[in-house]
Amino acid sequence: MTSVISDKYAALGGPSGILGDPVSDEEIRADGRSHLRRYKNGSIYSLWTPVPSTPSEPLSVERAFAVQGPMHEKWKSLGFDAGLLGTVTTDERPFNDGVSRFHFFERGAIAWNATAGAQSAATGQADQRLAAIFASSVR
């Protein structure tokens, strides 16, 4: 059986890609709307999200996002999807400097560069900080 998680894994190179071999089966998370599969070097989460529709026919779509490396370790230290930031909502994205990277989560973000390492900011604690950093830096 195929899923958006297995499709994302294949697109990232499968076992020889950045995530390496799977270390868990796909599981439904406690929120009931997201799934997870862990890999040697990261995780892939899928999330059902609403899309524009009519009130009589609400729609949602399942999207999958991969998190790996230092940002995955930072997210793990914060409790993954059950922690401060919640579920990942984007794939890794570049800053304008071409070196630094970031992910958005339900309640914040994690950014990384070689100098500072992985840093997190919760939206409720740092709305203005996140807005200023990401508005001027995101491609």
As given in the structure block, the two tokens for residue 103 are: 């992910």
Name which of 122, 22, 110 is nearest 70 in CA terms: 110
Query: pLDDT of 118-138, one tens digit each?
Result: 888 776 655 455 545 544 554
pLDDT tens across the length of the chain (139 residues): 678 999 999 999 999 999 999 999 999 988 888 899 999 999 999 988 766 666 666 567 789 999 999 999 999 999 999 998 999 999 999 988 788 899 999 888 998 888 888 888 776 655 455 545 544 554 4
Residue 117 Rama label (left phi>0; alpha psi -120 to 50; beta): left
> What pLDDT shows up at residue 98?
81
Parent domain of 73: 4-137
What's the total number of domains in the chain? 1
As given in the structure block, the two tokens for residue 86 are: 């919640």
